[in-house]
A and B are shown apart, each in its own frame.
Chain A
Amino acid sequence: KAGVTQTPRYLIKTRGQQVTLSCSPISGHRSVSWYQQTPGQGLQFLFEYFSETQRNKGNFPGRFSGRQFSNSRSEMNVSTLELGDSALYLCASSPSEAIDTQYFGPGTRLTVL
């Protein structure tokens, strides 16, 4: 089975712009979660989608949003980018709610200048 894929792998944007990141989960997985990883804060949970519905949300401002399509693919959007949004954005998919079934993609490295 193919793993979780994320596109693009690298992205450079300037402050004030918006960005959309894409995640294709493992075939058959209906849950997709997004995380932000930075050296100072580590991994932080952004949100989780299951069957096109947001099921869980972390403590991030409203500039961070996401959605899931009927084929389980997911996108996350960050509007009005700030320098502090520079991070590795990871997507993880899961076939169930079980905590030990998350499979991570390689991430999208976002740099905000």
Chain B
Amino acid sequence: QKEVEQDPGPLSVPEGAIVSLNCTYSNSAFQYFMWYRQYSRKGPELLMYTYSSGNKEDGRFTAQVDKSSKYISLFIRDSQPSDSATYLCATGAAGNNRKLIWGLGTSLAVNP
């Protein structure tokens, strides 16, 4: 079993839909959680970062962490065609700043 599981999709939604992307993790030592977006032929870019349970909102994006069930989610409201990309979750333990454990990514297509 991988330490971080993420449904690879692909996920296809109409423009304006609410998108829910999810990851589960197995190591309770993981303390920080991140969501990256990766466009084709580009490197990942950080979207959201949180280290506590609960919700964190940034514009149309909301990251949710439930440490009790080891479940992390990213919600995208009013999705746009420009949101079409692969979304990667990543997590890690304190003291291992660069040794993030990554999900395989979920491919999202938002159709106009």
Main secondary structure of the interface of B (DSSP, over half): loop
B43/A107 in contact, CB under 8 A: yes
Once the chains bind, are B92 and A43 in contact (CB under 8 Å)?
no
CA A42 to CA B5, docked complex, whole Å = 11
Residue from the list B32, B44, B92, B100 in contact with A90, Cβ < 8 A: B44
Closest B residue to A6 using CB positions: B43
B69 at the interface (CB under 8 A from A): no
How many whole Å from A110's CB to the nearest CB in chain B?
14
Residues of B within 8 A of A92 (CB): 43
Closest Cβ–Cβ distance, residue A86 to chain B (whole Å): 16
Hey, which bits of chain A sit against chain B, CB under 8 A? 4, 33, 39-45, 48, 55-56, 58, 90, 92, 97-100, 102-107
Given contacts A42-B88, A45-B99, 11 further A-B pairs with CB under 8 A are A4-B43, A43-B44, A43-B100, A43-B102, A56-B97, A58-B99, A90-B44, A100-B34, A105-B43, A106-B41, A107-B43
29 A-B residue pairs with Cβ-Cβ distance under 8 Å, sorted by A, are A4-B43, A33-B98, A39-B104, A42-B88, A43-B88, A43-B90, A43-B102, A45-B98, A45-B100, A48-B98, A56-B96, A56-B97, A56-B98, A56-B99, A58-B99, A92-B43, A98-B97, A99-B32, A99-B34, A99-B92, A99-B100, A100-B34, A100-B49, A104-B43, A104-B45, A105-B43, A106-B43, A107-B42, A107-B43
